[in-house]
């Protein structure tokens, strides 16, 4: 029940302010990226289906690498075993390519 409360609380804060209090409490911006991971993966998959490959080689490579890193992280993160290296690699890559994840 407590987890549901915080899920709703943070969702409302993000809807109103664009971020939630976890940022203010020092949890870091990577929390926002982690919340967005499923959406980022879906965006990349959809873009790879629709964008022309010719002339978009860099974009295609970035989307494929993003999907690969997310999948690797998800595999390593099963059963709550957090692999710090795969997490850091995924967050660093997404953060450094953030401008590619909108159209």
pLDDT at residue number 76: 67
- pLDDT tens-digit map of 9-66: 888 888 888 777 777 776 666 667 777 888 999 999 999 999 998 999 999 999 999 9
pLDDT at residue number 84: 62
Residues in the chain: 103
pLDDT at residue number 2: 81
**Domain residue spans in the chain?**
28-100
Whole-model pTM: value is 0.68
Residue 97 — pLDDT band, cuts 50, 70, 90?
very high
- Cβ-in-10-Å burial (0-12, 13-18, 19+) of 63 comes to buried
């Amino acid at each position: 029940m407590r987890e549901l409360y915080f899920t709703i609380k943070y969702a409302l804060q993000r809807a109103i302010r664009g971020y939630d209090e976890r940022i203010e409490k020092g949890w870091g911006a990577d929390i926002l990226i982690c919340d967005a991971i499923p959406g980022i993966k879906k965006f990349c998959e959809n873009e790879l289906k629709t964008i022309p490959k010719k002339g978009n080689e860099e974009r295609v490579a970035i989307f494929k690498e993003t999907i690969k890193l997310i999948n690797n992280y998800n595999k390593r993160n099963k059963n709550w075993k957090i692999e710090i290296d795969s997490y850091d690699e995924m967050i660093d890559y997404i953060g450094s390519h953030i401008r590619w994840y909108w159209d």
